[in-house]
Structure 1
């Protein structure tokens, strides 16, 4: 699926390549495990065809496994570790209806803002007795206030009429950004799907749209995909 998406989008992306500035920006890239490397390659090729001036600093984390995991099948969540390390407290997840795709609800256009560092993400856990583990859901006034302020500011900046701060969300092919005061991390919100890794069945849409979200939200200027060329071409290939 990743290969098919590349073939469909790349010709159009090349046509709109002149929109970007020549200033190269460095972006850390973590392909991850499972289907991660193949969907990452798909997005890189599309960005390359569009001549997005990004230099990737790729980081290999395939050797990192969860503690006490002798099987090698499980992995520590490096995503959560990065959120904690860089205090990426606001998770931004847009969800919008697509023309031609019938879903349970019509005309959906919402952006969920989720607190990213507390609650179930606090990581305060301990074993009370053998087989019984307690997890503390920590919530502070400071963290609650700052994510609420972020959400209302986001609504003002994007001219949205209603604001919702939510503690939990499930995503599939939609983008996701984790935002802090001094950095941001953009990701696909699905799992690593090791069962289909290497079979060209993985859909790179979520990662592609997260990449476009990165251009719009963090890099700014002419790099912000202002005419929406990458996103527009994706909409025309969404049925694959």
Structure 2
């Protein structure tokens, strides 16, 4: 029996987790779900944003499903802590437009592969103080290594092959950050040279991060797989979500050699907490990504199709997409559609 750690967290994290579990538990899968704590409410009760027991559960599980959390100033981030503890080096964020959703662009379908372990998110920061003790300068250290860059670029290239994509784009700023982004760009082309003869169908190119931000809102259909560093990927993925209808449709996966961590991209949204207005689609699609990671491709594909069918009909959608349905209404509609497909 496979163990799955579930961390609902705070705010709408609890609501979308409940909705996602309605879909997941309707499948004929022999999973043992382990409920665990993290986030602001956890900090208030336990004195820590993520207890050791939660980390222990996640390490022992085949995968971890994460909802959303409120920030706790001055305390460690549970999601970054989990990423480090589970050694999940690749963050995957698919950007796909859906028929029936009012979005800026149609026929958008690309994947952002983001390096997950270093860059500016290494959280190595320091202060410099003047003689009177006032902070006059803060310094953040940006770490880019050839090892991690080669690993993420190879992972992205293999994802392109696996998903039958024909283009892969490296995003960087090597014209200014010549050493750090220079390593990333060079690593990308080292991987391209390694595999290009075996896969001549895949076209490789690279863009600067600022140019990419523009191209995403002028010609997003050009992209198929984007590989980039931590901060750039974080920013571009939210921009990508804006192209297709918002964060409520945006899932993500954090993949390591042994572990997987899956979460909707949106935050805890305290302004709509408890109102049943949260869009559960991003969570349901994150569950699909989790099942794909667990080699349950059949169910993963059926979930994706069920979501597409529900959105296409346009009858059961949450307010963020222009509808009036509640969170659980959407979850039940997806579950019912899924049962028809299986």
TM-score for both structures, normalised by structure 1:
0.79
What is the CA deviation profile of residues 108-134 of structure 1, one whole-angstrom value per residue up to 9, with x for unaligned ones?
110110111111211101122244421
Q: Which runs of 5+ in 1 are unaligned?
A: 1-23, 67-71
SS at match of 2:141: strand
Q: CA deviation at 1:103?
A: 2.6
- How far is 1:234 from its partner? 4.2
Q: Indicate yes or no: 2:198 matched with 1:219.
A: no
1:166 pairs, out of 214, 220, 228, with 228
Higher helix share goes to which structure? 2
In 2, the alpha carbon distance for the partners of 1:183 and 1:155 equals 21
Residues 184-237 of structure 1 deviation map (CA, whole Å, 9 limit, x = unaligned):
100011111122211212112111110111112x12146643434543454344
Which residue does 2:105 correspond to in 1? 105
Q: Report the counterpart of residue 63 of structure 1 in structure 2.
A: 42
Show structure 1 runs of 4+ deviating over 6 A: none
Listed as ranges, the matches of 1:23-172 within 5 Å are: 24-61=1-38, 62-64=41-43, 74=73, 76-129=76-129, 130-131=134-135, 132-163=137-168, 164-167=226-229, 168=233, 169-170=237-238, 171=241, 172=247
Once the two structures are overlaid, the 10-residue window that deviates more, 229-238 or 185-194, is 229-238
1:8 corresponding residue in structure 2? none
Question: Max radius of gyration: which structure?
Answer: 2
Structure 2 gap segments, 5+ residues each? 50-70, 169-225, 242-246, 324-342
Q: Residue 196 of structure 2 corresponds to which residue in structure 1? A: none
Which whole-Å CA distance do the structure 2 matches of 1:100 and 1:233 have between them? Answer: 9
C-alpha displacement of 1:87? 1.5
Match status 1:186 vs 2:262: yes
Q: TM-score, normalised by structure 2?
A: 0.57
Structural RMSD (CA): 2.2
* Aligned mates of 2:283, 2:72 — CA distance in 1: 23
Q: Cα–Cα, structure 1 residues 175 and 41, in superposed 2: closer, same or farther, change >3 Å?
A: same
**How far apart in 2 are the matches of 1:234 and 1:28?**
28
- Residue 335 of structure 2 aligns with which residue? none
Q: Distance in 1 between matches of 2:26 and 2:89?
A: 33
Question: How much has 1:45 moved relative to structure 2?
Answer: 1.4
C-alpha spacing 1:221/1:213, structure 2 compared with 1 (3 Å): closer
User: Does the 8 A contact of 1:94 with 1:110 survive in 2?
Assistant: yes
Aligned residues: 211
Q: 1:222, 1:143 → 2: CA distance?
A: 28
Which fold has the larger relative contact order, with Cα–Cα distance below 8 Å and residues 6 or more apart in sequence?
1
Distance 2:268 2:280 in 1: 12
Deviation at 1:176, TM superposition (A): 0.3
- Given that 1:52 and 1:223 are in contact with CA atoms closer than 8 Å, whether structure 2 keeps it comes out as no
